Chain A
Amino acid sequence: NAGVTQTPKFQVLKTGQSMTLQCAQDMNHNSMYWYRQDPGMGLRLIYYSASEGTTDKGEVPNGYNVSRLNKREFSLRLESAAPSQTSVYFCASTEGGVGNEKLFFGSGTQLSVL
């Protein structure tokens, strides 16, 4: 039981390049989330998917797109990377909508945009 799996672990991009961060969970969770973590700012929500087939913007969605490919997978895409997107990205999931929820995280992707 791997939980939440993210790839890649590290990535370096040049300004303007695009890339997709992949996330998969094997806990049959309904809800999935993408966060970014910056020093001194805690975890900020980029996008989330409350259930398969739905996605919604979080606190800092600009410059990102997401796809809920199926119940297991939720990807985050940077179409034209900017240095301000240098951060650590975390995917998370929770059962969603059933009460007494627990949020589980992947191990993160460290992204540097030069």
Chain B
Amino acid sequence: GQQLNQSPQSMFIQEGEDVSMNCTSSSIFNTWLWYKQDPGEGPVLLIALYKAGELTSNGRLTAQFGITRKDSFLNISASIPSDVGIYFCAGQLGTGNQFYFGTGTSLTVIP
């Protein structure tokens, strides 16, 4: 199957710092999704992206659909303790196709 390379694998940051993570693929996707997963819970959708170059925000979170359509980026500004969790990217090759997932970025926020 398709492989999405997500980096970094883990991050340890101070409260108030900004966070950046990204996903890259060898294939062109038409949809990028970003999720957050808390322990013992299912992934929760944060942001959906559908056009190359698209920049979408959800509160302190901003995600971008890369112009090559092979990558996507997620930024979190002014991190807070409740941002702790695992963040996943997911990509879809085309309408109706299955989604592929990155291996996740584990975020720890130190108060």
Residues of A at the B interface (CB closer than 8 Å) are: 4, 31, 33, 35, 40-45, 48, 50, 58-59, 90, 96-108, 110
Contact = CB atoms under 8 A, between A and B. Distances in A.
Q: How extensive is the interface on chain B, given as a class? A: 20 to 34
A48 B98 contact: yes
Interface of B: 1, 4, 31, 33, 35, 40-45, 48, 50, 88, 90, 92, 95-96, 98-99, 101-104
Contacts of A90: 42-43
23 contacts: A4-B42, A33-B99, A35-B101, A40-B103, A41-B103, A42-B4, A42-B101, A42-B102, A43-B88, A43-B90, A44-B1, A48-B98, A58-B98, A59-B1, A99-B50, A100-B50, A101-B31, A102-B33, A102-B48, A103-B45, A105-B42, A105-B43, A106-B42
A39 B35 CA distance: 17
Among A48, A99, A101, the most chain B Cβ lie within 10 Å of the Cβ of A101
Nearest to A98: B95
B45 A107 contact: no
10 interchain residue pairs of minimum CB distance: A105-B42, A97-B96, A43-B101, A42-B103, A42-B101, A107-B42, A59-B1, A99-B95, A105-B43, A108-B42
A66 B99 CA distance: 18
A100 B31 contact: yes
A4 B99 CA distance: 17
